[in-house]
Amino acid sequence: LNLEILKLGGSVVTNKNQPMSMNTAAINRIASEIATAGGRGLVIVHGGGSYGHPLAKEYEISNGYHSDLQLPGFSKTRQAMIQLNSILVNTLLDAHVPAVSVNHSSFIITNNKKIGEVDFKIVELYIKAGMVPVLYGDAVLDTEIKFTILSGDQLAARLAIDLKAQRLIYGVDVDGVYTANPKLTSNARLIEDLSLSHMKGMVKIGEALSTDVTGGMLGKVQEATSAVEAGVNVLILNALKSDYIYNALRGESVVCTRLRR
């Protein structure tokens, strides 16, 4: 099975600075790029963006249970993600991609924020039937802290490993991993080839400097490390630029960061 996992960042599918707002132009274009590329042997995972993150933050879901006041927040976060997922799946269907929503928060449990044992048989069977499963970062139950937020980044990496995907593509709103934050620093350079040892060094430095260890590009690199170790080719590319996803899915060369062993 020639399989690819495509993670679409929340900063791609939604307008991040406007609550509950879709980036309609971007998702329409991406859906048609996926359709034209063939759209088979593909699993799509999307992030929370302005649907999931504001609620997750307001109710402090990510660090687990501390008050009953969080309980409606857990459910509201899930409802927002279901809504976002539904819009995305409908957009893919309109573009004639045989997308199907997979509500994995009903069967994935984390152990202190990390996915433990999980059976992706359902996802595998959808793919074998010719469909394109669409999963997402979500509020999930946790064995140690009762509940947490499972990022789409972690889920995508785990799917890539368990389903033995050829490639894992992270579509984000910048061209890849830079030497510094390109949104803050004008002389930031794109790193086109990132080795595992370089990645591990970066993650260490990032942990010391960053206030938000789970989020952003470093979080992505950290989650991707395990997939790279398992032999998956990982690309981080700009999904807001026309045809980048199309070219990547076609196996053509594209400006991006490649993670390698």
Which residues of this protein are in contact with ligand IP8, per CB under 6 A? Answer: 10, 47-48, 52-53, 56, 77, 81, 137-139, 149, 151-153
- 176 or 219, CB closer to ligand IP8? 219
Min dist CB 149 to ligand IP8, Å, is: 5
- The angle, 0 to 180 degrees and rounded to 10, between the axes of the packed helices 71-94 and 24-37 is 50
Min dist CB 165 to ligand IP8, Å, is: 17
Which element (helix H / strand E) includes 201?
Answer: helix 196-209
- 16 or 167, CB closer to ligand IP8? 16
Residue in the shown chain whose Cβ atom is closest to ligand IP8: 137
- 92 or 247, CB closer to ligand IP8? 92
- 142 or 247, CB closer to ligand IP8? 142
Read off the tokens for 92: 């893919």
Min dist CB 187 to ligand IP8, Å, is: 28
Min dist CB 59 to ligand IP8, Å, is: 11
CA angle 189-190-194, nearest 5°? 120
Min dist CB 207 to ligand IP8, Å, is: 17
Min dist CB 226 to ligand IP8, Å, is: 16
- 221 or 247, CB closer to ligand IP8? 221
- 152 or 176, CB closer to ligand IP8? 152
Residue of 111, 102, 94 lying closest to 42 (CA atoms): 102
Number of neighbouring beta carbons within 10 Å of residue 120: 21
- Local structure of 54: helix, strand or coil: helix
Residue of 167, 173, 156, 158 lying closest to 46 (CA atoms): 156
Rounded CA-CA distance 10/19 in Å is 12
The letter for the amino acid at 86 is S
**Cα-Cα-Cα-Cα dihedral sign, residues 89, 138, 45, 5:** negative
Show Cβ contacts of residue 208 under 8 Å, excluding neighbours closer than 6 positions.
none
Rounded CA-CA distance 246/90 in Å is 19
- 11 or 257, CB closer to ligand IP8? 11
Min dist CB 133 to ligand IP8, Å, is: 16
What's 37's DSSP letter?
H
